[in-house]
Amino acid sequence: MAGLILEDVTLVKGEEIRVDIRFRGGATRTLEVPRTLASWEEWKTPPEVVAEIDRLLDGQTPGEIAAVLNERGFASGMGRSFDGRRIAKIQRAYGLKSRRARLREAGWLSTEELAERLGMSGSGVRWRRGHGKLEVDARKVNDMGEYMYEDPGENREDDVRDLAGGTEEV
C-alpha cells in the first residue's frame, strides 16, 4: 500500500533522525524524530551514582557502598539494586581508583608489609588486629576481609614492639 503513495524515503541519522519523504506526484516532506538510545546507553549508570561511588570508595568497601546506595534508593542503569560485584564492575568501567589504590597512595601498608616492619608474621598482625592488640589503625580494603594498615613510621625498635603489643604469641 505504501508503495502506491511513496516514491522514496531517505533516513539521515544524526542527533535526531531526519526522514525525507518524496511522494508520487512530486510532493516532499521532512520529519525530525528523536533517535532511540542503544541498549548500552539506556543501561548506563547515571553520572550522579558514579560520582557517589567514587566519593564513597574513599572510606568503604564495594559491599558497604552497595548497602549505602540501596538504602538511599539509588538504582543501577538497568534499574536493579546494587551489590559488591556491581559496584566493583562500575568502578572498573568508569576508571575509578580502587579502595586499595587510594589507601596505597595515602601511604597505607599491606598486612605483609606491616608484618615485616614489625618483625612478625602476617598471621600475627591479623591476630592482633582481630583482638584489638595492634596499636596502628587498620582499614578494610574489600569484602573478603583484607585490611591495610597505617604506616607506623620509622620508629625505634622499642616503639615498634609497643605497636605490636609486646612479644608475639600466636
- Where residue 51 falls (left for φ over 0; alpha for ψ -120 to 50; beta otherwise) is alpha
pLDDT in tens, 72-123: 999 888 888 999 999 999 999 999 999 999 999 999 999 999 999 999 999 9
- Which of 45, 50, 53 has the alpha carbon at shortest distance from 79? 45
160's enclosing H/E stretch is helix 157-164
What lies within 8 Å, CB to CB, of 14 at 6+ separation is 35
Q: Which CATH class is domain 105-164?
A: mainly alpha
The single-letter DSSP state of residue 109 is B
CA 169 from centroid of its chain's CA atoms:
38
Mean pLDDT of the chain: 87
| Partners of residue 31 on adjacent β-strands | 19
Express each pLDDT in 55-64 by its tens digit.
Answer: 999 999 999 9
Distance CA(105)–CA(148), nearest Å, equals 12
pLDDT at 163: 52
Kindly list the domain boundaries of the chain, sorted by start residue: 2-36, 40-96, 105-164
pTM: 0.67
